[in-house]
């Protein structure tokens, strides 16, 4: 099965090269990197590093659209490149590329694979609580019992893309995909991944979380 790794990036000039190096070492898959309008030196750093690398395709958004939109750009490019499945991995180092082979193996049996964290280590309490509340609420409402709703380490096959197709441009991507997995009762696999927490101030705010949860009924019921 041809699997392509999709890496959305936004302002990760100090980490993105290291992440891509680890991905290249961990898997033989092609990689699509989507620079989502970074305002730091991410683009320059990537242009320099990837100049002679044929395994990596770099796409650059003119300005920032958000994680959901940049993942969609990467995934649609992956389908054009002939991928039968994709694995999405964050560029900020919070997902360990050494877990990629396990995603590749699981995708041979399952239509969609989610990574889950056990929140050991120095994860802020409010983030843990937010994740637990969101995971349980979405699970109870839409029938998708997950261990970690907000993990962005996701792999899925092309055949379910139309069913899980997301409209969220920003951080609602993971929740929207999970809600649609519940809607269409798509069987899924969860893989334990390392909990790596680096940026206290990045990610979903409480207001964002409420807005995202408020949209789940629309995602569940729309056709």
Partner 1 sequence: MNIHLIQITLLGFTLFMVYILYLHWKRQDITSLMFGMWLMTWLAFAGVVVFPWVLREQVNNLFGSEVVDVVIVVAFMILTYVTVENNFKMKKFEEKMEKLVRKLAE
- Contact residues toward partner 1 (CB under 8 A) are 34, 37, 59-63, 65, 69, 72-73, 76-77, 169
Least separation in angstroms between residue 221's CB and partner 1 is: 18
**Which is nearer to partner 1, 73 or 131 (by Cβ)?**
73
Nearest approach in angstroms of CB 64 to partner 1 is 9
* Nearer residue to partner 1 within complex by CB, 14 or 44: 44
Q: What is the 3-state secondary structure (H, E, C) of 167-208?
A: CCCCCCHHHHHHHHHHHCCCCEEEEECCCCCCCCCCCCCHHH
Q: Residue 74 or 130: which CB sits closer to partner 1?
A: 74
Q: How many other CB atoms are found less than 10 A from the CB of residue 106?
A: 18
> At closest approach, how far in Å is the CB of 7 from partner 1?
14
Nearer to partner 1, 37 or 172 (CB): 37
How far, in Å, are 43, 99, 144, 176 from residue 150 at the CA level? 27, 17, 13, 10
The smaller minimum CB distance to partner 1, of residues 82 and 124, is found at 82
Quote the least distance from Cβ 43 to partner 1, whole Å: 12
Residue 188 makes CB contacts below 8 A (sequence gap 6+) with 110, 111, 112, 113, 114, 181
Cβ of residue 34: shortest distance to partner 1, in angstroms? 7
């Amino acid at each position: 099965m041809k699997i392509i790794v999709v890496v959305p990036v936004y302002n990760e000039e100090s980490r993105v090269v290291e992440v891509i190096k680890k991905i290249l070492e961990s898997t033989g898959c092609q990689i699509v990197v989507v620079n989502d309008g970074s305002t730091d030196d991410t683009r320059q750093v990537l242009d320099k590093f990837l100049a002679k690398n044929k395994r990596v395709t770099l796409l650059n958004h003119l300005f920032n659209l958000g994680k959901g939109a940049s993942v969609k750009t990467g995934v649609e490019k992956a389908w054009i490149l002939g991928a039968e499945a994709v694995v999405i991995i964050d560029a900020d180092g919070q997902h360990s590329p050494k877990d990629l082979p396990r995603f590749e193996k699981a995708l041979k049996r399952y239509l969609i694979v989610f990574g889950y964290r056990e929140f050991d280590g120095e994860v802020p309490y409010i983030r843990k609580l937010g994740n637990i509340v969101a995971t349980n609420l979405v699970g109870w409402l839409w029938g998708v019992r997950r261990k970690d709703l907000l993990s962005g380490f996701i792999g899925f096959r092309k055949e379910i893309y139309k069913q899980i197709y997301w409209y969220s441009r920003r951080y609602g991507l993971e929740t929207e995909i999970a809600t649609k997995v519940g809607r269409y009762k798509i069987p899924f696999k969860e893989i334990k991944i390392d909990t790596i927490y680096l940026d206290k101030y990045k990610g979903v705010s409480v207001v964002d979380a409420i807005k995202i949860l408020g949209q789940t009924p629309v995602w569940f019921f729309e056709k």
